Structure 1
Amino acid sequence: MTNNLFKKKVLFILLFAISNFVQAQKSLVLWYDKPSGNVWERALPIGNGKIGAMVYGNVSQEILQLNETSVWTGSPNRNDNPDALASLPAVRKLVFDGKQKEAEILSEKTIQSKKSNGQIFQPVGSLNLRFANHENYTNYRRELNIERAISTTTYSVDGVQYTRTSFVSSPTNTLVVRITANKANSISLDAFFTTPQKNVKLSTNSRKQLILHGATAGHEGVEGNQLKFNALTTFKQQGGSITSNDTLTKITGANEVIIYVNIATNFNSYKDLSGNEIARTEADLQKALPKPYATLLNEHVANFQSFFNRVKLDLGSNPAAEQKPTDVRLDEFRTNNDPTFASLYFQYGRYLLISSSKIGGQPANLQGIWNNKMFPSWDSKYTININTQMNYWPAEKTNLSEMHEPLLKMVKELSETGQETARIMYGSRGWVAHHNTDLWRITGPVDRIFWGVWSMGGAWLCQHLWERYLYTGNKAYLAEIYPILKGASLFFVDDLVEDPRNKYLVINPGTSPENAPAAHQGSSFDAGVTMDNQIVFDMLSVTIRAAELLKKDQQLVDTLKTIRKRLSPMRIGQYNQVQEWMEDIDSPNDKHRHISHLYGLFPSNQISPYRTPELFVGANNTLIQRGDVSTGWSMGWKVNWWARMLDGNHAHLLIQNQLSPLGVNAAGGGTYPNLFDAHAPFQIDGNFGCTSGIAEMLVQSHDGAIHLLPALPDFWKEKGSISGLKTRGGFEIVKMTWTNGKVTSLQIKSTIGGNCRLRIGAALKGKNVNLQTAKGENSNPLFITEETAKPIISPKASIILASIPPTFLYDFTTEKGKVYTFDVQ
């Protein structure tokens, strides 16, 4: 009796633990009770940073739509306009004379690219799996487990339960699909490739493998048929038979089928296409094929979780909502308190970054790594006037530093190609990149000059190089990136010109991305626009700091400091707003999706409640005037802005707006059923932007201290926890818990040592640390905030400073590798 009772207790404990584990897993699963059909935005994304696949989950004809990170049109090319340099004096004079439209018309002829406006990221094709007599099915479910990076589809036909499991392995660079049934000899299928690519050959070989080999086309005069790609599908079945014809492989009566898909190109770099795409697919296949399926799966999960599991987030729960399919939860989120859905979306952004950006691949583009169109919107390029940068806002802070690497490499490559653009078009030293680039690292203007004249892309991207240093404190890395920072600043040294009206040094021609004031007759051109000034300020400042830390280029440092003092300060206009342009011509009725002049609030730190209160209030007014609902990515940016405004409830409202089905927000974006962000159409930057914004609501470290729970909304106040977020100075939040909106426990790890400054809404007590009330500037150089000039305030403005919630500010000295524990008094 005693022994049986003990066994029952052990069994109960195990079942309870398993139940809790399963419940925990549900919070990190997207699931649906119907197939995608032919709707790409319902399919589920998997990837490893090189190969991407969209799994449709259809029953009778499954589709796995395939991408490879380097499959782009064209070949190595440049798009500089050599006529620009001679025309610059005339263009600048027209702008200074208030003839912006005339300057734009002249620039269309002399600065706008006469060559390519960028090449196109394109699909490889689709692997199709056709199952006979599977039209009538029951017990259907498909899901994406973002904690394990596995897509699973299950259903029953005639009493037989079928399971398909798909993942893209990083260790073997292979897409793996396993098909099982609970009855022997029940799996029969036809497998074949389809592709929208034109220059391709579909075939099979003696090993019954499917082969899709081709080359991408040229575009806008850039030579094609140079970038070659190869997709190879291999089958391993238990039981049954396998046959093939010219383009199809047939499996009949199998017990289990494992499918391996390998894709590669001949791309080595933006200037080298000498790789062997066929040999590469075969080499990757040989990494995967000899391994048992269980080994492949376990290696894949272990690799993925080595990144994903670094951060855990608990915002509370709503058990009733968590039992519903993901598309239903999406539909109800804006009117339902479902905090687990917000944490799911946060982690989904991290999942997408891990899956679309890995060392050895390309950076996540406008759609990450997933695209089914030959001519996607905006060519699915790298739009570097916000969208590409937004993709990587979560990288350092959500503990995915490795995922940052492809972007940092691209910045280095742009610093190489951008030197010629700076020389030819501006007669300048250093390097420059405009508002868009592609696989071939073009740096000249792209598309209409209305957008393309913007020359801040390279300098903004440099802030990502600097951010990596601020999070790691790695001096060797700083020495590596210093020439890139220096080159971007040297361009400004030569390109800035004196405004004859006020003697400030300004960028001319400049533009506030994609917007134009009514006062300029529809032209976007101007001189000394606010965002240009902010980015130039940041670029000069980080170069100065880097040079001082490395103890080099003192003469350049002196020059940059002199130039920085002559930049135009930010301004508060007649509507109590941060001005977008140097003139006070903003309209409070302007609802434009870009609010570029708040770059200084986020991702920069030039606007602060503690250092620049007038600008802080002006930013608040600007955000209110622009409104909440906009395109999906714009709402993602606004989550970050409202977090920086210390307004968690408004930030949460933007999350609700963004996490609304497309069509709900009148004249605005939203989210597709698979939780892809809708501009519309799909742009992945909104996903990444919102993930960054949620992190900013919980922890910030840009303003001289680690600020804990700076913008916690009422929806999340009751109880929650976060672990694994990183901050400037090499600190990691090992774990932070809160109850009723107040921190209840805290552990912080120091990875490099140095002073740690904490800002918190309640008094702290350290268990193994000597806390001191903080005074003056943070002694940790990784937290230094550069002081901007005092704003110029319009006589018509009536700024009433906001009351900022009181906080406690503490300093304590840390040692490398040590964890510090605190209680809240």
Structure 2
Amino acid sequence: MLSYGRSLAQDTTWKLWYDKPAANWNEALPLGNGRLGVMVFGVPAVERLQLNEETIWGGSPNSNAHPRAKEAIPYVQKLIFEGEYQAAQELANEKIRSQTNDGMPYETFGDVYISFPGHQNYSEYYRDLDLQQALSSVSYIANGVRYHREVFSAFADDVIMVRLTADQPGSITCNVQMTSPHDNAMARVRGDQLTLSGESQTHDHQRGSVKFQGRIKPINKGGELVVKDGLISVQEADELLLYISIATNFKNYKDLSVEYEKKSEAILEAALQQDYSTIKSAHTSYYRQFYDRMSIDLGSSEAMANPTDQRIEQFSQVEDPQLAALYFQFARYLLISCSQPGGQPANLQGIWNDMLFPPWESKYTVNINAEMNYWPAELTNLSEMHEPFLQMIKELSETGRETAEMMYGARGWVLHHNTDLWRITGPIDYAASGMWPSGGAWVSQHLWERYLYGGDQEFLREAYPIMKGAAQFFLDVLKEEPEHGWLVVSPSSSPENSHPHGAAIAAGVTMDNQLLFDLFSNLIRSTEILGHDESFADTLRNTRARLAPMQIGQHGQLQEWMQDWDDPEDKHRHISHLYGVFPSNQLSPFRTPQLFEAAKTSLMYRGDPSTGWSMGWKVNLCARFLDGDHAYKLLQNQLSLVTPSTRGGGTYANMFDAHPPFQIDGNFGCAAGIAEMLMQSHDGAIHLLPALPSVWDSGTIAGLRARAGFEIVELSWKDHKVDKLVIKSHLGGNLRLRLSGNLKAKGLKKANGINPNPFFELPEVKSPIIAEQAPLSQLAIPEYTEYDLATVAGEVYQIIGN
């Protein structure tokens, strides 16, 4: 049944659409060009456009490394090895973490309000977010006139554009004003423009120092326009355009020298040289060069006729495969919109935030959340969107070098569990979460993954010193634990989870061991590829062999800690010890079946319902466990409607992930999970349909990228079997395919067990099982066949199923 405002001819397949205005921020629709974010509410009487600029953060350039930490750390380590965990944690709180700086908040710019007298009563309402055009529109009838609004954040011209029209001339009458919650913000009229200038907030003794200015230039067709007293007043116009620019004094994390007022003016003046249609066309062309790289069709149903919020609410009860596809493409839209080359990486909320002091300051939490934001980047063909995060890693290696020396007396660089615009690297918050020094190992994994997908040796050559610096830190700080003589990270924690000894602080936690295994292995392989630093590789090999191993505990679980402390009733949102399954590839049903099964048991104990981002991680884990129906069940849990009156994680009406509150990581995590259900390339082959759920019996996906330089030009399936594969080889070399059933193609032969491709090289996980005290269930691994195909760089290959 069609709702008000949606015409029969209107295609809403790739749109989020609604039959009522947004009642709150989590119902508003997000727009962004990487730098400028907009939330569109679509209220007929008073439109609210909530605005963000990616560099408006509190505080100023600073370091939060604590100079007293170096003296205290040996005492904390001694207490940990003696089993005095609470005392160790209290000492870390007092002596190691920063007492004055817990990181700076990402802040809203403010709002543009457009008020329309007499529009309180309306009918045939419709609003949408068009994922194919990256714009939002609103339509309704008031006083017998149909009004239309169009808003987008222009990629090419770097301004926010608003167009107001009506189907009858002389109908646009409104007032426009710009406001900000910043207590120092000042609105002024400058000629025929509105400006709003201000400075970011002081926080934790760090003076606010990001200066900003926004400008609005109105252009009307017909009617009258007056700009005075902080308002743009329009009477009886045929059309109104608003050009909006914002600029700050931010140049980089240690330099605030940009002349922001001149920049704001220059951006606006340059955009004003273009008419609306030219700016819109350039905007769409730029955006679609990324968005159009992928398509997905999981099927359709009658549910598609309903508004998006209703579809989310009903997803677990009705057949609506297209909503999963829409959710997937929405995540790609968000990544394009909040992470552009040359800009800042997506923070905890991307670039969308309406507060001065948002939850968790909307920073970069690097014990899972910041990394999760970029899980879809290479996989879903948005490699350029990865670049801001990779640049941040480089900058963190610079600031983290000072922290490593000051706090640990170590070489290399260190990153604890959080950072911000100023690239702080010391521990923040309390030791229960902040005393985790392994962020450098995790973010370095993104450098290696970038190489695995693209094969760019020049990139690897530039990334190598960063990864090496991360490893040098651990080589200097690893300690020999007294019971087994293993080398362990101490003090540390299994992120944000507590163990039975009344604390979180510990030594030798499983996630740290897995992260270091990856970091050392990636560097060893890099030395072989680049042909240098062999002695360093030998040091890494010797150290890697002494890391604490993964272990199976008394409940048949993969142990989260070095000791067998796991509680089967623990439902904690973090599942850090399963990093080895995803996003890493250390555990596999084909190579490490017992540890793999133990990891499945750990996930089973954790349970399904959780915060939004945690369920996103679990979708990926279930895909890696080759359990498509369980992955789909978790996707249903994630796509459950969260409203102000509901509790628990899920999805808001505007498709934003609900922790709650809003965190964008769940959107990106689930998108990666959907891709992993359909194709995996981490385990020595390209695995087709590894975790296809029963409900997606037929479908097509195009544009996925696989490791080793392969691109899935098209993958279609019928009755749960591969029907057609078209694949492009960008690097050449042997292509190994893994799937159930048989394929027919010229040159395709059954795999002979030879390593298919150097980019598919697998880690040699030498991790003895120390405590197998419970019987393992029978591994439910379906039978697969592997095929080899020799490929040439640049060639496209087509394979047809039986």
Distance 1:665 1:656, change over 3 A: farther
Query: Could you tell me how far apart the structure 2 residues matched to 1:254 and 1:658 are?
Result: 45
Which of 187, 205, 210 is matched with 1:221 structurally? Answer: 205
- Letter of the structure 2 residue corresponding to residue 315 of structure 1: L
Change (3 A) 1:582 1:663: farther
Write the mapping of 1:103-502 to structure 2, written as runs, cut at 5 A: 103-207=88-192, 209-224=193-208, 226-318=209-301, 320-502=302-484
- Does the CA contact (< 8 Å) of 2:643 and 2:653 recur in 1? no
Equivalences for residues 783-822 of structure 1 within 5 A: 783-822=760-799
SS at match of 2:392: helix
* CA–CA separation in structure 1 for the residues paired with 2:315 and 2:772: 44
Contact 1:67 1:123 in 2 (8 A): yes
Cα contact 2:89–2:432 (8 A) shared by 1: yes
Query: Shift in Å at residue 297 of structure 1?
Result: 1.2
Give secondary structure in 2 for the equivalent of 1:714. Answer: coil
1:531-550 equivalences under 5 Å are 531-550=511-530
User: Which position in structure 2 is the counterpart of 1:28?
Assistant: 14
Out of 622, 625, 629, the position equivalent to 2:602 is 622
Q: Report which stretch shifted further, 492-501 or 776-785.
A: 776-785
> In structure 2, what is the Cα distance between the partners aligned to 1:22 and 1:368?
34
Aligned AA (2:710): F
Rounded Cα–Cα distance in structure 2 between residues aligned with 1:799 and 1:21: 57
Task: Describe the SS at the equivalent of 1:106.
Answer: helix
Pick from 687, 691, 699 the counterpart of residue 667 of structure 2: 687
Partner of 1:12: none
Q: 1:713-737 CA deviation, whole Å, 9 max, x = no partner?
A: 01101x1000000010110000011
- Give a deviation string over 1:433-466, Cα, whole Å, max 9, x none: 0000000000000111111110111110111111
Distance 2:581 2:283 in 1: 39
Q: What's the TM-score, normalizing by structure 2?
A: 0.98
> Where does residue 13 of structure 1 map in the other structure?
none
Note the aligned Cα RMSD (angstroms).
1.5
Displacement after TM superposition at 1:280 (Å): 1.4
> Mean alpha-carbon deviation: is it higher for 355-364 or for 661-670?
661-670
Matched, 1:564 2:544: yes
Contact 1:27/1:341 (8 A) holds in 2: no
Match of 1:3 in 2: none
Aligned equivalents of 1:389, 1:222: Cα separation in 2: 27
Cα distance in 2 for residues equivalent to 1:665 and 1:778: 54
Partner Cα distance (1:599, 1:665) in 2: 34
Give, in whole Å, the separation in 1 of the partners of 2:509 and 2:644.
34
Amino acid at match of 2:650: G
Give the letter aligned to residue 153 of structure 2: V
State the match for 2:569 in structure 1: 589
CA distance in 2, matches of 1:217, 1:367: 19
Counterpart contact for 1:317–1:338, Cα < 8 Å: yes
2:603 counterpart of 1:603: no
Shifted more, 477-486 versus 777-786: the winner is 777-786
- Secondary structure in 1 matching 2:695: helix
The one-character-per-residue Cα deviations of 1:492-522 (angstroms, maximum 9, x if unpaired) are 110111111110000011100000112x1x2
Whole-Å separation in 1 of the counterparts to 2:639 and 2:306: 16
Give the one of 677, 680, 684 matched to 1:700. Answer: 680
Query: Structure 2 CA distance, aligned partners of 1:171 and 1:785?
Result: 41
Structure 2 CA distance, aligned partners of 1:408 and 1:790? 30
- Pair 479,84 (structure 1): closer, same or farther in 2 beyond 3 Å: same
Q: Deviations over 1:8-34 (max 9, x none)?
A: xxxxxxxxxxx99967x4221111111
How far apart, CA to CA, are the structure 2 residues paired with 1:688 and 1:507?
A: 30
Letter aligned with residue 727 of structure 1:
A
Give, as a single letter, the amino acid of the residue that structure 2 aligns with 1:482. Answer: Y
Contact 1:193 1:202 in 2 (8 A): yes
- Are residue 634 (structure 1) and residue 619 (structure 2) matched? no
Give the direction of change, closer, same or farther, for the CA distance of 1:667–1:252 in structure 2 (3 Å limit): closer
Question: CA separation of 1:144/1:663 partners in 2, compared to 1, >3 Å: closer, same or farther?
Answer: closer
* More divergent stretch after superposition (672-681 vs 807-816): 807-816
Q: Amino acid of the residue matched to residue 198 of structure 2?
A: G
Matched with 1:59 is 44
Letter in 1 for 2:416: H
Pairwise CA distance, 1:665: 12
Query: Aligned residue for 2:3?
Result: none
Listed one character per residue, the Cα deviations across residues 684-725 of structure 1 (whole Å, up to 9, x for unaligned) are 0000000000000001001111000000001101x1000000
Contact 2:499 2:566 in 1 (8 A): yes
Contact 2:685 2:756 (8 Å CA) reproduced: no
Is the contact between residue 572 and residue 791 of structure 1 (CA under 8 Å) also seen in structure 2? no
Report how far residue 619 of structure 1 moved: 1.2
State percent identity of aligned pairs.
Answer: 51
CA distance in 2, matches of 1:466, 1:665: 43
Structure 2: distance between partners of 1:724 and 1:293: 32
1:237-260 residue CA offsets vs partner (Å, 9 max, x unmatched): 100111122211101111011111
For 1:683 and 1:477, locate their aligned partners in 2 and report how far apart those are by CA, in whole Å: 31
Paired residues of 1:629 and 1:665 also in contact (CA < 8 A):
no
Provide Cα deviations, 1:103-149, integer angstroms capped at 9, x if missing partner. 11111121111231100000000000011111111111000011111
SS in 2 for 1:571: coil
TM-score normalised by the chain length of structure 1: 0.95
1:251 maps to amino acid:
V
| Correspondence 1:497-536 to 2 at 5 A | 497-518=479-500, 520=501, 522-536=502-516
Matching of residue 750 in structure 1 with residue 729 in structure 2: yes
Q: Is the 8 A contact 2:196 2:215 kept in 1?
A: yes
Change (3 A) 1:576 1:420: same
Give the AA of the match of 1:211.
T
3-state SS in 2 of match to 1:45: strand
Kept in 1: contact 2:159–2:268 (CA 8 A): yes
Q: Hey, what's the Cα distance between the residues in 2 that align with 1:763 and 1:666?
A: 48
Q: Structure 2 stretches of 5 or more lacking a match? A: 1-5
The answer as to whether partners of 2:97 and 2:430 remain within 8 angstroms in 1 is yes
SS of aligned partner of 2:596: helix
Select 2:708's aligned residue among 719, 729, 741.
Answer: 729
Q: How many residues are matched?
A: 797
Query: Residue 676 of structure 1 corresponds to which residue in structure 2?
Result: 656
1:513-537 alpha-carbon deviations (Å, 9 max, x no partner): 000112x1x2101110100100011
Q: Which of 13, 33, 58 does residue 48 from structure 1 map onto? A: 33
Q: CA deviation at 1:210?
A: 1.1
Cα deviation, residue 361, structure 1: 1.6
Query: Does 2:755 correspond to 1:778?
Result: yes
Task: Give, in whole Å, the separation in 1 of the partners of 2:111 and 2:700.
Answer: 41
- Runs (4 or more) in structure 1 with deviation over 3 Å come to 19-23, 663-667
